[in-house]
Chain A
Amino acid sequence: MRTRWIFGTILMLTLVMGCAKKKIETYPAGVSSNQQIGAQTKPYVTNHQEEQTLSSVQEQQGQTVEEQNLQEEKLKQAQQEKEDIRKIIAKRIFFDFDSYELKPEARKILQQKAEILKKHPEIKIVIEGHCDERGTEEYNLALGEKRARAAYEFLILLGVDANRMQIVSYGEEDPLDPRHCEAAWAKNRRDEFKIISSK
């Protein structure tokens, strides 16, 4: 009988101690059992869960940074591509005096433009025809129109939709180089290409 009582007491103590150990393990440090009981009515996060959340946030943050970098990279690429497109579109072509015939180098440049324009149907351009100061205002206005039209028609031949292009002649009114010499005149006898819409 005495042996049974001792065994029973040891078992109870063991059970009680085991339960108490569990409680200590689960309470956050510095919180009394009373407080903890009261707090049990609200959801709480265990240390483990907290660690998990933290790592998850860190992971998310890591992903966001990566995404951001990726986006920035994409943006840079897009900007670079946009800049490349703009550069190709903006490439001027030049003409001989009193001529609106496209030279071989002008045709090459127009081919590059045509590729870009076909790849990006959202782009619309205006082609400006310009002349040097020699010749008279009215004739140069007509000659500028012929120069712009020569590029326009060549781009149409290369498959660019006519509705995406408009032309305007400025004659001798907007020289690139204001000097009065052959070098300046050669620069001024040109077609300029400007993007008016890229949506």
Chain B
Amino acid sequence: MESISVAVFFPFAVAVAVPYFANRHRSIAAWMAMLAPVVSLWALVLLYGEWSAAGRGALLYSFSWVPSAGLDVSFLVDGLSIMWGFLVAGVAFLIVLYSNFYLHEHEDLGRYYGWLIAFMGSMMGVVFADHLLTLFISWELTSVTSFFLIGFWSDREAALYGSQKALLITGGGGLAMLAGFLLLGQATGEWHLSKLIAMSGVAGKVSLAAFVLIILGAATKSAQWPFHIWLPNAMEAPTPISAFLHSATMVKAGIYLLSRFYPILGEHPAWGYIVIGLGMTTMIAGGLLSLRAYDLKAILAYGTISQLGLIVTFLGYGGQEAIIGSTLHLYNHAAAKAAMFMIVGIIDHETGTRDVRLLDHLARRMPRAHILAVLAAISLIGVPPMGGFLTKEMLYGVSIHPGGPGEWAAFWPWLTLAAGIITALYHLRFLGAPFWTPAEGTSPKPGHDPSTGFLAAPAILVALAIAFGVAPGLIEGTFVAPAAEATLGGGGHLEFHLALWHGVNQPLVMSIITVAAAGFLYWKLDWVSGILDAVAEMWKKGPGPNKAYDGAIFILKERTWPLLLSLQDGNLRRYLRWSMTVPALLLLAAALWLDWGEGIWPAFSGATFIGASVCILISISALATALFPGRLPAILALGTAGYAIASLYVVLKAPDLALTQIMIESASIILFLLAFWFLPEIKIIPKPLSRRARDWGIAIFLGASSAAGMALAMNSHNLRTIADYFFLTSKPIAGFQNVVNAIIVDYRGYDTLGEITVLVISGVAIHAMLRIVGTMQDEGEGH
């Protein structure tokens, strides 16, 4: 219990505390922020111990939160969430370490580290959440925190655009996911992931709509085509943020969601088609877009999109080998891509630009950064002995024997091979363009290798990328196998052994073809660029996801003014007309819920002569108030209505009300007469008949629905309040014979005190205002 709470909640505590200290003691800001990942990692180590001791199944830690609503905070600890927890906290640690070198002295460190650590906590919430709604809340928190991180340099237009885009797309996807969760919860009656995983045949009960909505959540977060458009714009964030959110964690939340739901929805007939289709399209589209980018971070962003597509494709294929492959590739990609982002950050920091056209033979001036970049890139190209080679082989192997939709089986190996070649090609370009080739322009600064500390974080990551390839056993039994078991549904232990060398087989042949083809295409890169540019030129006028997004935003921002102005035009009486019409409509809507059986309307009997005549008098005087043109007749009519209502209170057996009403009515009339003395005569402004008819129409509509509602309500005798208690205790407790009095001065004494206070306050206000009016008279008009 304690360790999981610390792992998830401690980052939030740090996130709240950091802004207070960071800007006052700038030198310690990073070290304070580092507390969060360090403590979380330590808690995770303890948790790992608890979990191992408990047999490495699924552990549940829960405590109730809103018991009346059936909400609880429960954490699901199994192989998958443990693995993700270590991934998030581990990368966060390196990112904070690196940020300390990257950020300039004058930046707002408190805001930076605060949001960064809050993001880390939200991610922890996502991966450990058991309840669907807790998962959703954490999920949206990652969107919100990333919004602030992408827009960290809030004086840049592009950063604002990027952060808004990311928030709208990922936040919107989260809402779709929530709708999917609600449908899922209703279909199965279960809201806990742990129970859903244990339940059999969930996929059969879930509608296609629920399935698509949940996948939509994953697809937007993981930047799958056509929702990938937010990721390149999110590169406006400081580079460590890009490395953290947009390579290792946030975009992978979608992958986590798919892995988490694989045992629940993997059997769904649409899973293979939708998920493979999504992944494969994204993998190829991302790769091609990367080839056309010139900003190093954009090259990496599109590369990330492509790599996410690869992992999604794995999950789409399904089956043991594919799940192991996807799990392992998460590590490979997180390590290599975060390292590459950090190296880009270093290049940016040292040369002042990220535009590859301005970077000239950097390998000569930044040899150490160059070596790290090469090692990271060849891991993702899939060259032994790097970890990426293993997963690339596995992907090829899976594509030959896919578990997905059978009828397309013949295409998968070819498509996968094409995607692999494109992947290798854009990674070669990522290396070649800045490090190996001459520049078209000159960079602001010549650039040189940075300090060792700056290189430490990427170096650690590259070392890990090598370790995952050379000695996959390091993570195989501890993380990969339990995570894959959990993804496959938690049944039984997996027996497999990862190794670099599998002998000469089809995947190896495909790997060799990949590297050879990519090498050839890189040699002829001008051709490739020429073809891509020509296609882009042709498609310039065609539709695209970015155009759709910008168009939608334009419509929302600009085209909605007429609607807004027509609803909120500042015309008080229009608002009033709405306020009158809507309640009447609501009453009508409520009428639909009623049981229109026999005897729902009251009988036309039981009226006394006095009662009936008083009612008629009230009605006539009320209408007269509305219709009399002069002010004095109107006041008198209002007074008549008031006194008649006092008599009606007598009929209704409310003597106290009758007395009060008489006194208050007298006072009101005097007040009205006083005020009207100063106000001008009511001039009836000639109004078109249509306007009058409209006003009367609304008024009669509201009046008629109130009358009908009242008749229905009074006829149902379910309105007895707590009156019995008052009757039985009025005398013994309060000493009153008059129960209304007892309520006013005793049972609800504080209420009456409040009422008197209101009266006094309004009296004071009236007095003050009248004095102002008096001074105005003395000064201005001179009565």
- Report if A and B associate in a common complex: no
Residues of A within 8 A of B (CB): none
- B residues near A (Cβ < 8 Å) are none
